[in-house]
Amino acid sequence: MGISIVITSGKGGTGKTSVLCGVASCLAAMNYRVLCLDMDIGLRNLDMVLGMTDRVLMDFSDVIYQRCSLLDAVVEHPQIKNLYLLTAPVSARASHIDRIDVMTLLGQIKREFDFCLIDSPAGIDAGFELACAGADRAIVVSTTEPSSLRDAQQAVNQLRSRRIPIHLVVNKMSKKLLRKLHTTIDDAMDTAGLPLLGIIPQDDKIPVYNGLGQPVILKERRGAAVAYYNIARRLLGQRVPLHRF
């Protein structure tokens, strides 16, 4: 039985989708069967960042409403074996989708895949609730900006009632902030009230690779790519020291 992990944040633009793609590609490269599930209904873009837009025909609502089977709806990544995508409907409304249906879908997914990484929309309303519905654990992605940390805290407050493990990933960490790493990270952990799963540096190559739809781990062995790999290893229970930049 696989495990489902929601990647969420509260605030938009913190890097949820990028972190999901990076970590999912690393897990797949380590031979785990990984499904990336886009739950950012209406504003989906996981297919673009993964470079799979032209392959996507069906979405998760087609599986929920039994218009096709799970394995017919998922699409495999053209370059990374074991990496699959199930996209979100563009025209549906989160408030119209039943969370029980999502939980049933995740049950099905976990029988077929080792990991299901769920991309959550920004905010903490219906879309967020749906994305978290069937998650076994959660990763909250925040930058060190106060507004991002405050929104992360809001997301954590909502997640607490679910009694699932929640971890913090600090993204877009600047070199300047890294010099005072301990205070910054301690502050971030205190504000969000969470244990830390990883720190990802500000890496100007990420927007470039995202725009090209190229998973960064295929091309880079430094910067954010290393941080994604370390997070994947920690998810597998390996002890990896916090990356030194």
Ligand X SMILES: Nc1ncnc2c1ncn2[C@@H]1O[C@H](COP(=O)(O)OP(=O)(O)O)[C@@H](O)[C@H]1O
- By CB under 6 A, name the binding residues for ligand X: 9, 12-18, 171-172, 200, 202-203, 206-207, 210, 224
> Which of the listed partners (ligand X, Mg ion, none) does 171 bind, with a CB threshold of 5 to 8 Å by partner kind?
ligand X
Nearest distance from C-beta of residue 171 to ligand X, angstroms = 5
Nearer to ligand X, 82 or 210 (CB): 210
With CB under 5 to 8 Å by kind, the binding choice for 143 among ligand X, Mg ion, none is none
Cα(222)–Cα(205) distance, integer angstroms: 10
Q: Residue 17 interacts with Mg ion (CB under 5 A)?
A: yes
196 sits in the region (left: phi over 0; alpha: psi -120 to 50; else beta) called beta
What angle, rounded to 10 degrees, do the helices at 224-235 and 16-29 form?
70
Residue 162 and residue 133 in contact, taking contact as beta carbons nearer than 8 Å? no
> CA-to-CA distance for 220 and 177, rounded, in angstroms?
23
Query: With respect to Mg ion, which residue has the nearer C-beta, 17 or 191?
Result: 17
Of 21 and 185, the one with the shorter C-beta distance to Mg ion is 21
Which residues, other chains included, contact 216 with Cβ-Cβ below 8 Å and sequence gap of 6+?
21, 22, 25, 205, 206, 209, 224, 225, 228
- Work out how close the CB of 45 gets to Mg ion at its nearest, in angstroms, rounded to a whole number: 6
Closer to ligand X by CB, 39 or 56: give it.
39
Q: Minimal distance in Å, beta carbon 199 to Mg ion?
A: 20
Min dist. Cβ of residue 202 to ligand X (A): 5
- The nearer residue to ligand X, 12 or 107, going by C-beta atoms, is 12
SS3 state at 92: coil
d(CA 14, CA 144): 10
Enumerate binding residues for Mg ion (CB under 5 A). Answer: 16-17
